[in-house]
Chain A
């Protein structure tokens, strides 16, 4: 089993709609969870971090964490063309080591 899995293929959403991304992880001891956004040809940039079960909202972004089920999700409300990017789920393991999923590409259609 991979440490962090993001299984969905490219996601196309109309402008203004909600984009939903999911991620599962294998290590029950993980404590910190992140979503990074990566534009084509650029480096990953942090958009959300979450440490406890439940929802965390920041602007149009909401991260959801369920440690019992070992999944993390990201919702992007009112999707904009500028949200078109690859979104990487990352989970902190022991010794501050981050494990990344392979990412989900989001395309927002005007």
Chain B
């Protein structure tokens, strides 16, 4: 299995620009999570989906952030307009919920730098 795939791996942009991060979960997994990690705040859950439906977006910092999951194999996290404080590593993770299979598997992350 290829694992969770994220693109791009690195993104440098200027303040005010739109940023789109992409994620392909592990095939067959029914949960998808978007996290943000910074030194100050650690790993924070932004939003998660179950069977392509957003379940909890209470971690999305503000309206500049949006996420979609149009099908079981693809999700996007969009920031528009981007700000320097959005600089962080963004991780996507997926899981298959079951009695002992609720482990989340993380992608390699996208390191975002907003200048």
Identify the A interface with B (CB < 8 A). 32, 34, 42-46, 49, 51, 88, 92, 95-103
Q: Nearest residue in A to B99 (C-beta to C-beta)?
A: A51
User: Could you tell me the distance between the alpha carbons of A99 and B42 in the complex, rounded to whole angstroms?
Assistant: 11
Q: Which of A44, A96, A103 contacts B106 (CB 8 A)?
A: A44
Q: How many B residues touch the partner, as a band? A: 20 to 34
Cβ A43 vs Cβ B107 within 8 A: yes
Cβ A96 vs Cβ B42 within 8 A: no
Given the known interface contacts A32-B102, A92-B102, A96-B31, the answer about A43 and B42 at a Cβ–Cβ threshold of 8 Å is: no
Min CB distance, A14 to chain B, in Å?
A: 27
Q: Please, which residues of chain B bring their CB within 8 A of the CB of A32?
A: 102
Cβ B97 vs Cβ A97 within 8 A: no
Identify the B interface with A (CB < 8 A). 31, 33, 42-43, 45, 48, 50, 55-56, 91, 95, 97, 100, 102-109
In this complex, the member of B42, B107, B108, B109 whose beta carbon has the largest number of chain A beta carbons within 10 angstroms is B42
Given the known interface contacts A43-B91, A43-B107, A43-B108, the answer about A88 and B97 at a Cβ–Cβ threshold of 8 Å is: no
Cβ A102 vs Cβ B42 within 8 A: yes
Min CB distance, B21 to chain A, in Å?
A: 14
